[in-house]
Chain A
Amino acid sequence: MIYFDNAATTMRKPPEVTRAVVHALDTFGGVGRGVHPASIAAGLAVYEARCKVAQLLGASDPDRVSFCANATMALNIAIAGLLPDGGRAVTTAASHNSVLRPLFAARDIRGCTVDVVSVDDRGATDTAALDRALVGADVAVLTHASNLTGDVYDVARVARAAHAAGARVVLDAAQTAGSLPVDMGELGVDVLCFTGHKSLLGPQGTGGLIVAEGVDVPPLLEGGSGTHSFEERHPRIMPEALEAGTLNAHGLAGLAAGVDYVLQRGVNDVAEAEAALVARFERGLAAIPGVRVLGGGGDAGRCGIVAFNVADRDSAAVADRLAGEWDICTRAGAHCAPLMHRALGTAEQGAVRVSFGPYNTDDEVDICLEAVEVVAR
């Protein structure tokens, strides 16, 4: 099998990830739910995961890293916590449904206003419109890289503009954490939301949010904390303020191992390797008649994603042939990015998305190119 669906989830993980999860399943008690060795083992594993995530993503302190199930949950927590009832939020059409739907729910249920700034047919943001929209906004929820095109956006510039306008900045780093250098301090964002199962190489069911010092995100969920048990409300002490209920310590042990792989290899090395695969694939696609590569509108580079279509063929049919005849796993359809597809003119056709991970090779790219060439005949 050639696995090119790493933007959905990385299938091949470092062997240390598997070993860490298996060891955790055999040995962990509940995090923070006892003083016995099994509970402490789980707590220490979660602590290690916080430290490694903080190191990789530029958190000011590990205690600013709160874990949850995935980036979608992290974004829901951040949006619910920073967008007041009747408040105003700004995002762009490049956003994933994990951003759009919580915002539209806030509009429909809590009387909020949501400004969605348009992107053009290459996915480029209307930056003038974005700057105008930020004025008077409570929060800007930005995507670091489009999960459809892989285009990376200049978040630091928008964060400066948002802060000048008095808005908080929430970043969806689902596609960039672990695949590109990401430092939330340098980017200047208030909350960075990440998932563990993509380029951080952890198991599904892991993710979280990093909250900058001085930023208060109230809990979305309240419940068991293992601490302050006689208080009526969930304690507001980070990181546990945003972690009601028993954590997925088994998964987080694997996440720590995955992040450790990225730290040991170096995120720059991962980024360069994936960029080389993207360049090789795009060069090959350019030589195949009828193939259209989508995007190109980012203003801060690319991550390891290439989306394309073959003439006017249904993207699902193309992906099915790649899978059925060559055992190549890609992702077709809408990619939970409806507004981006509309902007690109692919709402009906969808797109075939190829996304690379740290274990993909040039040979795999060449096999895929041969397959696309056959499909395109």
Chain B
Amino acid sequence: MTCYVLTFQSTHAAMAAIRALMAASVGFTTIPVPPAISAGCGMSIRFEADDPEPVLHRVFEAEHDRGMVELYRVMDDDTYRREQIG
């Protein structure tokens, strides 16, 4: 399993994602945005998955503006790599 972090440009986008993941029973935790990442909203979502696409799919069902969301992969050395969102 790989660890990912979702960040948001607005509180509304974060809430839309949280609500969608709760409804889909996706496991996640809310955390402050890691200092190494810059994001508009100070809240981020951390989750583990082999493939982040199903989680992103749930998020974008609720938040239609993909520009509101960024995805980071947590690397083995605890750095963050921004992932392309398709």
Residues of A within 8 A of B (CB): 31-32, 34-35, 40, 43-44, 46-48, 50, 61-63, 226-229, 235, 237-240
A35-B42, A40-B30, A226-B42 as given contacts; A240 in contact with B11, CB under 8 Å: yes
Q: Which residue of B lies closest to A66 (CB)?
A: B12
Which residues does chain B contribute within 8 Å of A238, judged by CB atoms? 10, 12
Residues 43-79 of chain B: 1 if any A CB is under 8 Å from the residue's CB, otherwise 0? 1100000000000000000011100100000000000
**What CA separation (Å) do A201 and B12 show in the bound complex?**
23
**What CA separation (Å) do A235 and B12 show in the bound complex?**
13
Residues 8-33 of chain B: 1 if any A CB is under 8 Å from the residue's CB, otherwise 0? 01111111101100000000001110
A237-B9, A237-B10 as given contacts; A62 in contact with B16, CB under 8 Å: yes
**What CA separation (Å) do A35 and B44 show in the bound complex?**
8
Whether B40 contacts A63 by the Cβ 8 Å rule is no
CB distance from A175 to the nearest CB of B (A): 28
Which residues does chain B contribute within 8 Å of A50, judged by CB atoms? 12
Q: Which residue of B lies closest to A226 (CB)?
A: B11
Q: List 11 A-B contacts (CB under 8 A).
A: A32-B14, A43-B15, A47-B12, A48-B19, A63-B12, A63-B16, A227-B9, A227-B40, A237-B40, A237-B68, A240-B10
Q: Is B41 an interface residue (CB 8 A)?
A: yes
Whether B64 contacts A61 by the Cβ 8 Å rule is yes
Contact partner, A40, options B12, B18, B42, B44, Cβ 8 Å? B18
**What CA separation (Å) do A235 and B9 show in the bound complex?**
10
**What CA separation (Å) do A254 and B32 show in the bound complex?**
28
Q: Which residue of B lies closest to A37 (CB)?
A: B30
Whether B31 contacts A35 by the Cβ 8 Å rule is yes
Whether A63 contacts B18 by the Cβ 8 Å rule is no
Whether B40 contacts A228 by the Cβ 8 Å rule is yes
A35-B32, A35-B43, A235-B40 as given contacts; A43 in contact with B11, CB under 8 Å: yes
**What CA separation (Å) do A34 and B19 show in the bound complex?**
16
Which residues does chain B contribute within 8 Å of A34, judged by CB atoms? 43
**What CA separation (Å) do A228 and B8 show in the bound complex?**
10
Which residues does chain A contribute within 8 Å of B64, judged by CB atoms? 61
A227-B11, A237-B9, A237-B10 as given contacts; A44 in contact with B43, CB under 8 Å: no
A227-B10, A240-B11 as given contacts; A47 in contact with B19, CB under 8 Å: yes
CB distance from B39 to the nearest CB of A (A): 8
CB distance from B36 to the nearest CB of A (A): 16
Which residues does chain B contribute within 8 Å of A239, judged by CB atoms? 10, 12
Which residues does chain B contribute within 8 Å of A237, judged by CB atoms? 9-10, 40, 68
Which residues does chain A contribute within 8 Å of B65, judged by CB atoms? 63
Which residues does chain A contribute within 8 Å of B9, judged by CB atoms? 227-228, 237
Which residues does chain A contribute within 8 Å of B40, judged by CB atoms? 227-228, 235, 237
**What CA separation (Å) do A239 and B11 show in the bound complex?**
9
Q: Which residue of A lies closest to B17 (CB)?
A: A47
Contact partner, A35, options B10, B16, B30, Cβ 8 Å? B30
CB distance from A243 to the nearest CB of B (A): 9
A61-B64, A227-B40 as given contacts; A31 in contact with B16, CB under 8 Å: no
**What CA separation (Å) do A34 and B11 show in the bound complex?**
10
Which residues does chain A contribute within 8 Å of B42, judged by CB atoms? 35, 226-227, 229
Q: Which residue of A lies closest to B11 (CB)?
A: A32
CB distance from A13 to the nearest CB of B (A): 25
- Counting from the closest, the 3 A-B pairs by CB-CB distance are A32-B11, A47-B15, A43-B15
Q: Which residue of B lies closest to A247 (CB)?
A: B11
Whether A240 contacts B12 by the Cβ 8 Å rule is yes
Which residues does chain A contribute within 8 Å of B15, judged by CB atoms? 40, 43-44, 46-47
A50-B12, A239-B12 as given contacts; A32 in contact with B18, CB under 8 Å: no
Which residues does chain B contribute within 8 Å of A227, judged by CB atoms? 9-11, 40-42
CB distance from A347 to the nearest CB of B (A): 45
Q: Which of B11, B31, B43, B44: most chain A CB closer than 10 A?
A: B11
Which residues does chain B contribute within 8 Å of A229, judged by CB atoms? 42
CB distance from A359 to the nearest CB of B (A): 31
**What CA separation (Å) do A62 and B19 show in the bound complex?**
13
**What CA separation (Å) do A136 and B86 show in the bound complex?**
44
Q: Which residue of A lies closest to B43 (CB)?
A: A35
CB distance from A177 to the nearest CB of B (A): 21
Which residues does chain A contribute within 8 Å of B68, judged by CB atoms? 237
